[in-house]
Every structure is written in C-alpha cells, then in structure tokens.
Amino acid sequence: MKKVIIMFTLLVVIPISSFSQTIENIDYISPFNEGVAAIKKNNQWAFINKVGDIVINFRNDLVVTASVNGNYPIFNSGRCLIVKKENGISYFGYIDSLGNTAIEPQFLNATAFNNNVATALKLEKEEVGKNTALNKGIVYYKYFEVVIDINGTIKTYLTQKGVNIALDRKFLRKPPKFLTKQLSNNLIAVKSDNGKWTIKKIIE
C-alpha cells in the first residue's frame, strides 16, 4: 500500500515541479491583450503568455502606451511600438508577436495599432542644393502625418502640407505631437491651424 501511495505522489508532484517556471521581482504586470501580458522588471519590459512563459524577453526599447487599464507596452493587430535613438533623436517602429522588427524605427512619432492601422509622423528629406565649398548637400527636413498598415505601407496622408523641422536633438528633445486622432476604423479627425477639425475617410 505504501508503494502505491509513493508512486501516486511521484506522478503528481514530479510533472508540476519539472514544468513550473518562476519569474521573480516583477514591478508591474499588465492585463492580457492578444494573448500576452507585459511585465516590467528593472525598467525593462517583457511579454508572457497565458501559461506564464516569457515569449518576448526583457528589453528597453518597448514603448509604454496609455490605456484605460494603465500605462504599459501593448500588442494591437500583432504589432507593438518600439523606439530607437539615433544622435539623441527618437525614431519609432514596431515588432511582431515573436519580437522581430516588423517595421523599422523611422517615424518621429507613432501610435499603437488599432484595427490594423496606426498614425505616424513620416520624415522626408529634400535636397535643395549643394554647398560647393564644403562639398555637402543642402537639405531640409519635414514630416507628414500618415496612416500606415501593419507592414508600414502608407495608406493615406493626413496632412498635405509638411511641417518643417530641424533634425537636431536640441530641437527634438521630445517627439512632435499629433494633430490628428482616429475616430473609427475608417475615420480620422485632423486639426487645422485655426483650431477647427476636419473629418477624413481612410480609403481601403
């Protein structure tokens, strides 16, 4: 009888102890969204699945997004925002659910995806001449607010007139603000210089 009890105990205990995974000293745990939850530890974020496995390891480039439940990185439409700094300027892109870069960091600002679209500030460079003495091109930079799909393809320009900008960290300590907001899957509101709003349809 004792042998039966011992065997039964081993069968029950061993699988549990063999497959359990402990993640300790977590500072924050977000609600689950798209099957994963963000966890914070020592100013880095990771993602776990619903069985407690880390599916995207701790990293410092995940962007915290404000939501009704708190502020944390979040997956929407299979994409999560990341940020990369170059010469002190922040550029935003996205990773996929495996942690691979899906859209290279290139935007001066970007939102989380919603129904497979996101709003981003697309930077464009225009060469207007050349400084012959220094043998350097004279360039101007401007950005446009655009709607992108999950592949980073521009679906529509929300602002037709670009905003001129000095690509210098002294002037870009923070990402430029948006003048638009998404109202629904196919509607975007654009704020004009006079403070009035224009509603635009996103054409599929």
At 54, which helix (H) or strand (E)?
strand 54-59
Are 34 and 125 in a shared domain? Answer: no
Largest CA distance in the chain: 96
Q: Is residue 2 in a domain?
A: no
Residue found by looking up tokens 């776990």 in the block: 48
Question: Residue 137: its pLDDT value, please?
Answer: 67
Are 112 and 195 in a shared domain? Answer: yes
Are 111 and 180 in a shared domain? Answer: yes
Radius of gyration in angstroms for the set of CA atoms belonging to the chain, rounded to a whole number: 23
Is there a contact between 146 and 182 (Cβ–Cβ < 8 Å)?
Answer: no
Q: Is residue 127 in a domain?
A: yes
Are 65 and 114 in a shared domain? Answer: no
Question: Residue 184: its pLDDT value, please?
Answer: 77
Phi, psi of 8 (to 5 degrees): -65, -40
pLDDT tens-digit series, residues 42-94: 999 999 999 999 999 999 999 999 887 889 999 999 999 999 999 999 999 99
Are 114 and 56 in a shared domain? Answer: no
Please determine, for residue 4, whether its predicted confidence score (pLDDT) is greater than 50: no
Query: Domain span at residue 33?
Result: 25-75
Are 144 and 201 in a shared domain? Answer: yes
Q: Is residue 159 in a domain?
A: yes
pLDDT tens-digit series, residues 180-194: 887 877 788 888 778
pLDDT tens-digit series, residues 82-135: 999 999 999 999 999 999 999 999 999 999 998 899 999 999 988 766 766 666
C-alpha span between 138 and 42 (Å, rounded): 43
Number of domains in the chain: 2
Is there a contact between 199 and 187 (Cβ–Cβ < 8 Å)?
Answer: yes
Q: Is residue 124 in a domain?
A: yes
Q: Is residue 191 in a domain?
A: yes
Q: Is residue 49 in a domain?
A: yes
Is there a contact between 171 and 147 (Cβ–Cβ < 8 Å)?
Answer: no
Q: Is residue 84 in a domain?
A: no
